[in-house]
Amino acid sequence: MKPQGWMRMRGLADGASAAAEGASFTFKPQAAEKSFFDGGMISTTGALEAILVGHQCPVYFCTHRGEEPIGAITIAFSGHTEKWP
């Protein structure tokens, strides 16, 4: 069995909870709000487990100066907002 990476989620959970309580964003679907506040993000999680159970992170697609991407060529990044980096 290979070693697995682990992620401590407390720091992320604290920031996310503060943003959610401050109404910085909305939950879609609305049913996700209950599981979010029930502490699902707080436990230490194995990286592989997070991928397998379908945890999602925001990914934004870039276009150059508002142009539509040509074919399969797209640029994607993940970050806090669409304006990052």
23 sits in the region (left: phi over 0; alpha: psi -120 to 50; else beta) called left
Q: List, for residues 17-34, the tens digit of each pLDDT value.
A: 787 787 777 777 777 777
Determine the pLDDT at residue 75.
Answer: 58
What is the sign, positive or negative, of the torsion defined by CA atoms of 82, 78, 7, 37? positive
What per-residue confidence (pLDDT) applies to 42? 64
- pLDDT of the residue at 20: 78
Identify the segments of the chain with pLDDT beneath 70. 1-7, 39-85
CA distance readout (Å), 41 to 5, 22, 29, 36: 16, 18, 17, 7
Supply the pLDDT for residue 16.
76
Domain ranges of the chain: 6-78
Instruction: Read off the DSSP letter of residue 83.
Output: T
pLDDT at 63: 62
Determine the pLDDT at residue 30: 76
- Is-contact 47 7, C-beta < 8 A? yes
